[in-house]
Homo-oligomer: A and B are copies of this chain.
Amino acid sequence: MAFKSIQPARRRLADEVYEELIEAIIRRDIGPDDSLVQEKLAAEMQISRTPVREALMRLENEGVLEVSKRGSFRLYQMGDEEVKELYQSRAAVEGQCARILAVNHTPEDIAYLRGVVEREENVTDHSVRGYFEANRNIHMSFVERANNRFLMDMFNMIWGKALVFPLFATIENVELEKSLGDHMQLVDVIASGDKTEALEVFTDHIQDGFNLQIAGLHAS
């Protein structure tokens, strides 16, 4: 019987709150000037402070929130320098995945990745959110196939922070479209089996994303 593994862990109220907060941040319901107060959130959600508190602290731990003057929480604001560092860490994680995959991939991996890129690059949702998701899905699929749970954790941490800024997603649609059409080369270089080249191609791709990002930020 494998039913139990479908329900992996106990669902706590704090998880609910955590996800609702992230959703609210993505929807821009929560802005940089809002202060998140345990009591108010608890009242709004009709629950007690305890799970709210837990969710807020988790988000703080992940670097999404920070404590503001009065002790309450607010969105963490990233500066240009930090954005650079975040992209560097992306390159570390995804570059290593590329190296792993270059050395160690099956034909099925390549076919799967080609499928993902093809599907996601032709996404019909042309919103900023849509592009963000498509881009993330593509990059995530490489990490998935590298089959390393720690690299996957790190990937999620990084992209989680990206929600906040709003990073990886501020650029105008036209540029997003351009940057989204460039992923098949990533599969190709993995298929070539050259791990050093794979790392360079991935690093350059992510660097391009960074440049677009910075340009987009300074345009607005």
Contacts and interface: CB of A to CB of B under 8 A. Distances in A.
A109 interface: no
Interface of A is mostly: helix
A149 B67 contact: no
Contact of A151 (B9, B89, B151): B89
Interface residues on A, range: 20 to 34
Contacts of A9: 67
In the complex this chain forms, how many copies of it are found? 2
B88 A100 contact: yes
A124 interface: no
A96 interface: yes
A204 to B, nearest CB: 13
A26 interface: no
Given A89-B96, A92-B92, 17 more contacts: A9-B67, A10-B71, A58-B61, A85-B149, A85-B150, A85-B151, A88-B96, A88-B100, A88-B150, A91-B96, A92-B93, A92-B97, A96-B96, A153-B157, A154-B157, A196-B196, A199-B199
Interface of A: 9-10, 54, 57-58, 61, 63, 67, 71, 82, 85-86, 88-89, 91-93, 95-97, 100, 147-151, 153-154, 157-158, 196, 199
